[in-house]
Amino acid sequence: MLTIPAQTLTAAGVALLSAAGLPAEQAAVAADHLVEANLVGHDSHGVIRIPYYVEGLRNGELAPVGSQKVVRETPSTLVLDANRSFGIVLAYDAMREAVKRAQIYSFGAVAVHRSGHIGRLGAYPALAADQDCIGVILLNGGAQFMAPFGGTARRLPPNPIAISIPCGDASHLMLDITTSVAAGGKVDVQRARGLPLPEGWLIDAAGNPVTDPERFRGSDVAMLPLGGPLGHKGYGLAMMIDAIAGGLSWAGCSAEKPTRGGSGYLALAIKIDSFIDPDEYKREVKKLVDWVKSSPLMPGVTRIYVPGEVEDESRQRRLAEGVPVEEATWNAIGETAAKLGVTLPAI
Q: Mean pLDDT per 10-residue run, the chain (347 residues)?
A: 97 98 98 98 97 98 98 98 98 98 98 97 98 98 95 97 90 96 95 96 97 94 96 98 98 96 97 98 96 97 97 98 97 98 94
- For residues 97 and 346, give the distance between their C-alpha atoms in angstroms, rounded to a whole number: 39
Whole-prediction pTM value?
A: 0.96
Buried/exposed code over 154-174 (b: 16+ C-beta within 10 A; e: otherwise): bbbbbbbbbbbbbbeeebbbb
Give the per-residue pLDDT at 169: 76
Q: Give the CATH fold of the 64-181+229-289 domain.
A: Ribosomal Protein S8; Chain: A, domain 1 (3.30.1370)
**Sign of the C-alpha dihedral computed for residues 300, 305, 308 and 310 taken in this order:** negative
Give the per-residue pLDDT at 171: 85
- Are 93 and 99 in contact by the 8 Å Cβ rule? The answer is no
Give the per-residue pLDDT at 170: 72
Residue ranges of domains in the chain: 1-62+295-347, 64-181+229-289, 186-223
**pLDDT tens readout for residues 121-158:** 999 999 999 999 999 999 999 899 999 999 999 999 99
Second CATH level (architecture) for the domain 1-62+295-347: Orthogonal Bundle (1.10)
Give the per-residue pLDDT at 182: 96
Query: Considering only CA atoms, which of 93, 314, 139 is closest in space to residue 240?
Result: 139
Give the per-residue pLDDT at 341: 98
